[in-house]
Amino acid sequence: MKLFLIETKLPIQPPMPVNYRRTSLDRDTTFYVPKVECFACYDSGIVSNGDNLVNKYIPDYDKDQKGRQNGGQDLAIICHCKAAYGDSQSDDERERVGFRDSLGNIRTTDSIRGEPQALGVSLEKDKIRQIHTDRKACWENTAMVQNLVRNKIAKGEKYETPYYIQVVKEELTKVGDMFSFPSEKAIVKSMSDKQEV
Ligand SMILES: [Zn+2]
């Protein structure tokens, strides 16, 4: 019996250059409002509070004892839109169970103590709808202002920095010490100090 050895070596290819250039369409300077159906939850099923709009209805939501914003401190607020529901259209393998059952009740899960625990809490439908409407209007206004400013920049005209960008810029100047933890300083110091054994 004869054995045939097949040469599997492939010719060495030069490395493929990485194409990091955006197409001109991607470089479009237009500011777009997020393409979502529900601005309350951004189509995630969980109501977002990045802009504190939820605090209009629950003043101390996601706030610590000192009143500082602390996302994730409280239970998630489950939306009323279709993103909160399961997806019965999809096949079994990809079925989305959803945060609410078909009757609108919030589903439960087992807590670490083995007791059923709700996946989140509900806020009245009209309040969620108001959050959606207000947030959408905010985004539309932001897009309008941003596009005016970007247009002026593109034309080399003078423009006034929107106040919220000014606020962020000022906040960023205080970031310097953000990653400087006292305990880390102590570790670094103890490592650089000569230790007697
Ligand atoms: Zn929603």
Ligand 1 centroid, distance to 30 Cα (angstroms): 26
Identify the burial level of 136 via C-beta atoms within 10 angstroms of its C-beta, where 0-12 means exposed, 13-18 middle and 19 or more buried. Answer: middle
Global pTM exceeds 0.75: no
Ligand 1 centroid, distance to 128 Cα (angstroms): 8
Ligand 1 centroid, distance to 41 Cα (angstroms): 4
pLDDT exceeds 60 at position 169:
yes
- Assign 89 a pLDDT band (cuts: 50, 70, 90): low
User: Coil, strand, or helix at residue 46?
Assistant: strand
CA–CA separation, 72 and 67 (whole Å) = 14
Segment 69-90 shows an average pLDDT of: 87
Range name among 43-57, 111-125, 179-193 with the lowest pLDDT average: 179-193
Ligand 1 centroid, distance to 36 Cα (angstroms): 9
- Assign 130 a pLDDT band (cuts: 50, 70, 90): very high
